Structure 1
Amino acid sequence: MPGGHVGEGETSRAAAVRELEEETGVHVAEDTACQSRPGSPRPSPSSPPRGPDRNR
C-alpha cells in the first residue's frame, strides 16, 4: 500500500483496514478483515469453501 504504516498502538489489521480506506475509499469492518502473513498456510484446492459465497 502506498505510504502505508502501522501507527503507534495500532494493530497491523487496524492499519490495513485504515490504509485500504485511505488509499481506495473502500471500507471494511476490522472484525471481518482477513489477514495473512508470509509463510502462512493457504487452503488447498480441496478445502471446503469459506465465506459468504460458500453456499453457491
Structure 2
Amino acid sequence: MRNILMTVMLLVVVIVLFNNIIADNTTGTSKQIQTQGSSANTKIGSMLSSGSN
C-alpha cells in the first residue's frame, strides 16, 4: 500500500511540475518557444522581402 501511495504522489508531483514548467500559458517553455519561433519567422520574412528588392 505504501508503494502505491508513493507512486501516486510522485506522479502528482511530476504532473504539477510539468504544468508549471512546460505548459504554463504565460511563462512556460512552450510559450517561450512559440514566441521565439514567431520572432524568427518575422526576421526571416523581412530578410527575404528585403533581399528580393
Give the alignment's TM-score, normalised by structure 1: 0.27
Q: Which has the larger helix fraction?
A: 2
